[in-house]
Amino acid sequence: MKAVVIGGGIAGLLAARVLTESFDDVVVLERDKLSGQPEYRAGVPQGRHVHGLLVRGGEIMEGLFPGLYDELVQAGAHLMDAGEMRILNPLGWVASTRTGLPLLVASRPLLETHVRRRVTAKIMDDVHVTGLSFCGSTVDGVLTGDGRVDAELVVDASGRSSKLPKWLAEAGIVVPEPDEVDSRTGYATRIYTAPKDFPVVVAESLASPHTPRGGIVMRIEGDRLMVTAQGAGGDHPPRDPEGFQRFLDSLRGPIAGMLADAEPLTPAYLFARTASRRFAFERTPGWPGGLVAVGDAVCVFNPVYGQGMTVAAMAALVFRRHADFSAKGCRDFQRKVAKTAESAWVLSSNADEGWVDGAHAPPGPFKRAFGWYLKKWQVALVHDQDVFRRFVRVVHMVDSPAALLNPVVFRRLAKYSRPDRRPGRRPAVPNPR
């Protein structure tokens, strides 16, 4: 049995890793030329920006490739407690505390290269997939620039710019319009030298509707800092050095001051196609046998929540409990994949509604309750380490959001009604506790 995976990004590599457990032959077709070394590449433009791997995603990857964390740390990645990130939310510094959850901090190229080295499937680079090959109502391979590759199963993992809906439409199969929530967030990122003792992660989070600007600084391999400026609601950071610096200076927290002794090593790179979008492939009439999709090709998230690689990892595990790739089996597979993305989608899309153009119509009861609940959280996260610990477990997808909907949490949140905001003061970075 042969499986072909389109795309050698994180979703494709992890899918290939799991497929090697049940298929005799697994081939990954990647459009970019791969050098074997960690480097930025055209097919993954988002690789130039901060890529936080949530704890759940890290656990899955370490499970699939035992020893991966050690290898990455040897290559310069950092391992820290997920609760010890310094995060400034709109109301103050969150109550950072140890959680016992290991968080790996590395650049996207470093992570992807080490994962790729561990995948035993055959990876063919410089191969552009241009369409699907059909035998009746079943997909039996893919078309490439100069030929075709047969397969019993084709897995689309070609990311945010996947052409799958178009390829299916050419075969008369119409995918329903996707759900979309566009926070109009833009990223700009530069690499800097790292001053001595700079924390591993310092973040200033944005939040609708009044805090459109934020940033995140991560210590990455090679003793460098990756500095990403983020602006939502169309308030994008500029790429020219002066504009980038002005944007950092305009943040509420100390990021600009902390970088005073850091030297920029690269220009700023921009990325602004950040809308969250999900396709309901499981509801597509006439979906063919022999074809499934994972990763960003199915569901992309506003990257500020750092969910994409983890949801891709969860989708890869679905291959372990699924063996039927008939037309019905493939729709069932997509149903399971949609389920793995559901809680991430609910969290990010509801939090982003405040940025959506024309979303200022009076919200319904669910949205009002969600908004009220989020505000309570922002206050509680500043004051309460227990609340923060629970929040970290949910945000990192270790626990489901249901873990936050219980009477103990409600009682704790009820205590916190007053924002701890001191206008005009720029808060210093707290020491680790």
Ligand X SMILES: Cc1cc2nc3c(=O)[nH]c(=O)nc-3n(C[C@H](O)[C@H](O)[C@H](O)COP(=O)(O)OP(=O)(O)OC[C@H]3O[C@@H](n4cnc5c(N)ncnc54)[C@H](O)[C@@H]3O)c2cc1C
Among 95, 229, 309, 379, binds ligand X (CB under 6 A): 309
Among 269, 271, 281, 287, binds ligand X (CB under 6 A): 271
Among 4, 16, 27, 31, binds ligand X (CB under 6 A): 31
C-alpha 223/C-alpha 129 separation (Å) is 37
> In the complex, what is the shortest distance from the CB of residue 309 to ligand X, in angstroms, rounded to a whole number?
3
Phi-psi region of 147 (alpha: psi -120 to 50; beta: other; left: phi over 0): left
Chain positions 6 to 25 lying near ligand X, rule: CB under 6 A, are 6-12
Among 3, 19, 51, 378, binds ligand X (CB under 6 A): 51
Phi-psi region of 306 (alpha: psi -120 to 50; beta: other; left: phi over 0): left
C-alpha 390/C-alpha 401 separation (Å) is 10
How many residues interact with ligand X (rule CB under 6 A)?
Answer: 37
**Of 17-25, 26-34, 71-79, 329-337: span binding ligand X (CB under 6 A):** 26-34
Helix boundaries (H) for 327-399: 327-352, 365-383, 385-395
> What residues contact residue 145 under an 8 Å CB cut-off, 6+ apart?
127, 128, 130
| Smaller CB separation from ligand X, 113 or 158 | 158
CA angle 20, 25, 28 (to 5 degrees): 80
| Dihedral pair phi/psi, residue 329, rounded to 5° | -60, -35
Beta bridge partners of 61: none
Q: Are 331 and 293 in contact (CB under 8 A)?
A: no
**Of 151-159, 329-337, 344-352, 419-427: span binding ligand X (CB under 6 A):** 151-159
Among 61, 303, 330, 352, binds ligand X (CB under 6 A): 303
> In the complex, what is the shortest distance from the CB of residue 44 to ligand X, in angstroms, rounded to a whole number?
5
Q: Are 151 and 4 in contact (CB under 8 A)?
A: yes
**Of 152-160, 170-178, 340-348, 415-423: span binding ligand X (CB under 6 A):** 152-160
> In the complex, what is the shortest distance from the CB of residue 413 to ligand X, in angstroms, rounded to a whole number?
27
**Of 41-49, 164-172, 336-344, 359-367: span binding ligand X (CB under 6 A):** 41-49
141 binds ligand X (CB under 6 A): no
Chain positions 174 to 203 lying near ligand X, rule: CB under 6 A, are 187
**Of 309-317, 321-329, 405-413, 423-431: span binding ligand X (CB under 6 A):** 309-317
Token pair for residue 283? 């509801």
352 binds ligand X (CB under 6 A): no
Q: Are 178 and 199 in contact (CB under 8 A)?
A: no
Cis peptide before 209 (omega within 30 of 0): yes
118 binds ligand X (CB under 6 A): no
For residue 166, give the 3-state DSSP assignment: helix
Alpha-carbon distance values, 202 to 259, 267, 413, 431 (Å): 11, 21, 25, 12
295 binds ligand X (CB under 6 A): yes
Among 4, 50, 139, 338, binds ligand X (CB under 6 A): 50
| Smaller CB separation from ligand X, 107 or 284 | 107
Q: Which residues are at the interface with ligand X (CB under 6 A)?
A: 6-12, 29-32, 43-44, 46, 49-52, 128-129, 157-160, 187, 271, 274, 295-297, 303, 306-310, 312
